[in-house]
Structure 1
């Protein structure tokens, strides 16, 4: 019984540490070092578990702890926040259970192989849980490097999973060492430890090189876009769109007059909350204090608004971004959000008419939200006569690397995220979202601008450095002088995508098959013995 309780405490400890690698109420910037030890207690509990029932129990403890400690703010999500939080807890527990079953299956591998097998399994697990309809990319080991300046730069080659590998290897080494019966023999771990140390050193060297190179890249730019980012600090769920526009206008007027006119004013997600066409038909009279149409004309610049696009024929709507020209007309095609929040924005199989109708009747909702199918780029004419092409990931789409990759592959010179996190009512939520979004700038080597309702409105350069930021929960605006960089060069990650993740899946399968296949296991054992002998002879 004591062992069972101890394993339960290990699972809870891992859930807490994995949550704290991101910003939280306890550590506003997160604790980077926790990424190197966060899952070690969970692995130890799995190694020592006696049954699948026990693994299920520690998975439940870990999943629920991880969800409620790291993302308790989901409980504030409208009237069904607790439903989402409970669903997240169950989902995390389920996928963790599957991952730990795979980890447990490595118990018959030689110890020198198990470290590598568990590392690759965890990397594959983090990638797979970040894809598909139920994707949850939050609080991966990779995002424990938020405070890093140098190591994080490798993601322009490997994507986030490169960092998950480094942190996962550290955890696997610690877990294996603490559970191995041979307490006085470190030689079988020498090779993994050397690889870990070498990876840390080479990643830091590469990061220092890339950051040093950034100065030369910035010096080459010949064009600058002047963009005004607005933060209303008003919860769109509690007010109507005229109230949001009032706060939007107040923030803009708060920084006037200025010498340099701006090329575009950017609002947050769903500032125009409602059907865009209906809102624009009333824009000449609303808000009554300062009509939106009058504001657009007098500012004499382009505007980017978050709104909804309603398709009455299909009984559906889209979360959208609209670029308006100086006269208030739509410039180009709007972008429709593609990656929806499961069960909050997206319902399973809702694209099937018969099932969608059942949802409408059951939920009492005449319209259901649908996802976009196209990565539309927006083109902003600059006062110099040139233009800026950019993509607009909406809300938590900036937590998904593939969304930003598509924009950049199609020619985006910048990424401009619009977000509304005001419903969460917590600084930790705003900070977590920003820290995760920061990775997209580094992966693609494109500047990232974020215009949010309550935080964090920020300018992040292509090397992950925060250039400017508006404090959270403050009505304000800031002018960003955005260097327009050449788009002819793409990072390895943009060009090739999740190659490292696919290697992780392949290696995990090889090791798991090796656990069952005697000939393959024998081959792995021979490779391991040769590595062990080389490590021993080098002493």
Structure 2
């Protein structure tokens, strides 16, 4: 390299360094918020929960901030928090999609760039309204919080998270109020607390006012914690119980893929689950029912398809135990017309020890894009021919329950398969169908350690609080556990180990519906009304100032 080329290269590098240095300074508060949010979400302790967005929101309320700058600041925040909290996307792309690490990292960066655009959208819209209607900084902060809350509810997301989940993760008693407003409602409260902290920061020049607001905020936070603790104690009522034993076989990803494709491992997987069940029954002879995870039985388990090799292995091994099983397996309709697409379904079965169906299987309804279905393929079937390597499961008609006659009672099991446990509306539907106990089966082996398994776990357990029904979770590689309607989390399995554990699921027969199920999930209408009111007040004030 000659001296001229070296000089030009050094000059360009210095310019780029100065450029990024300046941008980092300009958006330093947005960067700080990204770090605070990312390090306050599961599995981190929520140390900055009520002020994590405050630096970003304070910065965008500055009079000099344009709508464009507000959007970009929000974009920086969402990029950083996604990179910290959801970096496991790269591992999943590599492990599940068999994509090289370089491309997996590119996929992660694209995910970080676009997945949480509702965050910059909220800041940009609020700043636009502030500038147009001359709204005060305090009202603008409230509008940002409410816009954020509303947009995070409707923004399409693979992993539908919110800050409310940190409360149940950290065992902060305020999470008990989720049966009133849901975890999205709790997230809204947390966002409004962030807006309040930001307002206090803006009032630091008027110390008396700032300290008055700070004292009021402390009282409100204490009230949320105390009221949540008292409210949760009202659910310590049970009049039924069932002993359920979870089997976690820790099946490897390669084995799972080959079994799904019918290329091998089906027999060894079946025998591993039956052997572990036999060993567990020796340890836990009071077991009433076994719970196996998602697609644990690596074959069809429909009544009309019994008598196959693997169902015979199941019946032979489990017959001596004589206990029913709830298990993930594959389902297929009876062949009645060769011209009709005979889709395979990812399903949940309730069967006796011989494999006989005790109720119709629940077929997974909310499928994972690119993992279980190809988007737009229902409208354009040609896509399936172009991309044959993408799984294409049939879509069920849930939510639905499976009923099991147990002693003199009938227990309705509300089935969730994998990410269906993240959908609050889906679980409300299970409660409305009469579910007594929720059962979630999943396979988190594609997502690495330790972030996603813990995030997925507590986001699923949250559903039990919203509808106040016990929930048992059976996973292939962990974390398997159960939670009672009062919020008590029972033993948890280790990650990536074979394991079995017995859970005493206490439940309340004919349990009442929570306020959240009946009305609380309509809280978004209140937020919209408040936003409209704030906008109208701002418009009136702007007009009066002009006149």
Structures share fold, TM-score greater than 0.5: yes
Q: Which runs of 5+ in 1 are unaligned?
A: 25-29, 524-539
| Aligned-partner Cα distance in 2 for 1:282–1:61 | 57
Q: What residue in structure 1 maps to residue 9 of structure 2?
A: none
Q: What residue in structure 2 maps to residue 263 of structure 1?
A: 288
Alpha-carbon displacement from aligned partner over 1:286-343 (angstroms, at most 9, x marks no partner): 89xxx22212322212111212334683364332111112321122221122223334
CA contact (8 A) 2:232 2:487 kept: no
| Aligned-partner Cα distance in 2 for 1:284–1:344 | 27
Alpha-carbon displacement from aligned partner over 1:477-526 (angstroms, at most 9, x marks no partner): 111121231224111001124122221233234324544x2269879xxx
CA contact (8 A) 1:315 1:368 kept: no
After TM superposition, give the deviation of residue 419 of structure 1 in Å. 0.7
Q: How does 1:198-217 map to 2 (within 5 A)?
A: 198-215=219-236, 217=237
Residues 1:338 and 2:391 are matched in the alignment: no
1:471 to 477, 482, 494: 494
Residues 1:46 and 2:65 are matched in the alignment: no
Alpha-carbon spacing, 1:40–1:377, altered in 2? closer, same or farther (3 Å): same
Residues 1:92 and 2:139 are matched in the alignment: no
CA contact (8 A) 1:514 1:521 kept: no
Q: What residue in structure 1 maps to residue 10 of structure 2?
A: none
SS in 2 for 1:479: strand
TM-score for the superposition, normalised by structure 1: 0.84
After TM superposition, give the deviation of residue 277 of structure 1 in Å. 5.2
After TM superposition, give the deviation of residue 32 of structure 1 in Å. 2.1
Count of paired positions: 500
Greater Rg by CA: 2
| Aligned-partner Cα distance in 1 for 2:186–2:496 | 32
Alpha-carbon displacement from aligned partner over 1:375-431 (angstroms, at most 9, x marks no partner): 11011222x232211101110111111111111111111111001001112122211
Q: What residue in structure 2 maps to residue 128 of structure 1?
A: 154
| Aligned-partner Cα distance in 2 for 1:341–1:283 | 29
| Aligned-partner Cα distance in 2 for 1:53–1:116 | 20
After TM superposition, give the deviation of residue 167 of structure 1 in Å. 1.5
Alpha-carbon displacement from aligned partner over 1:323-365 (angstroms, at most 9, x marks no partner): 112321122221122223334334433332xx1x132022124
| Aligned-partner Cα distance in 1 for 2:254–2:543 | 57
User: What do you get for the CA RMSD once the two structures are aligned?
Assistant: 3.0
Alpha-carbon spacing, 1:416–1:434, altered in 2? closer, same or farther (3 Å): same
Alpha-carbon spacing, 1:196–1:274, altered in 2? closer, same or farther (3 Å): farther
SS in 2 for 1:422: coil
Q: What residue in structure 2 maps to residue 111 of structure 1?
A: 137
Q: Which moved more, 1:462-471 or 1:6-15?
A: 6-15
Q: Which moved more, 1:500-509 or 1:424-433?
A: 500-509
Residues 1:360 and 2:365 are matched in the alignment: no
| Aligned-partner Cα distance in 2 for 1:201–1:285 | 56
Residues 1:303 and 2:325 are matched in the alignment: yes
2:246 to 220, 226, 229: 229
Alpha-carbon displacement from aligned partner over 1:216-269 (angstroms, at most 9, x marks no partner): x13xx1x32121111111234434333332332232233342574422111111
After TM superposition, give the deviation of residue 188 of structure 1 in Å. 8.0
SS in 2 for 1:272: coil
Q: What residue in structure 1 maps to residue 524 of structure 2?
A: 501
2:348 to 321, 333, 350: 321
SS in 2 for 1:393: strand
After TM superposition, give the deviation of residue 440 of structure 1 in Å. 1.0
1:394 to 409, 413, 417: 417
Alpha-carbon spacing, 1:47–1:165, altered in 2? closer, same or farther (3 Å): same
1:61 to 71, 76, 92: 76
TM-score for the superposition, normalised by structure 2: 0.82
Alpha-carbon spacing, 1:390–1:281, altered in 2? closer, same or farther (3 Å): closer
CA contact (8 A) 2:233 2:486 kept: no
Q: What residue in structure 1 maps to residue 377 of structure 2?
A: 350
Q: Which moved more, 1:61-70 or 1:49-58?
A: 49-58
Alpha-carbon spacing, 1:253–1:55, altered in 2? closer, same or farther (3 Å): same
Alpha-carbon spacing, 1:371–1:96, altered in 2? closer, same or farther (3 Å): farther
CA contact (8 A) 1:33 1:144 kept: no
CA contact (8 A) 2:71 2:121 kept: no
Q: What residue in structure 1 maps to residue 404 of structure 2?
A: 380
| Aligned-partner Cα distance in 2 for 1:39–1:64 | 14
Q: What residue in structure 1 maps to residue 314 of structure 2?
A: 292
Residues 1:15 and 2:34 are matched in the alignment: yes
Residues 1:75 and 2:90 are matched in the alignment: yes
| Aligned-partner Cα distance in 2 for 1:42–1:362 | 44
CA contact (8 A) 2:179 2:465 kept: yes
After TM superposition, give the deviation of residue 122 of structure 1 in Å. 2.4
Q: Which moved more, 1:395-404 or 1:165-174?
A: 165-174
SS in 1 for 2:428: helix
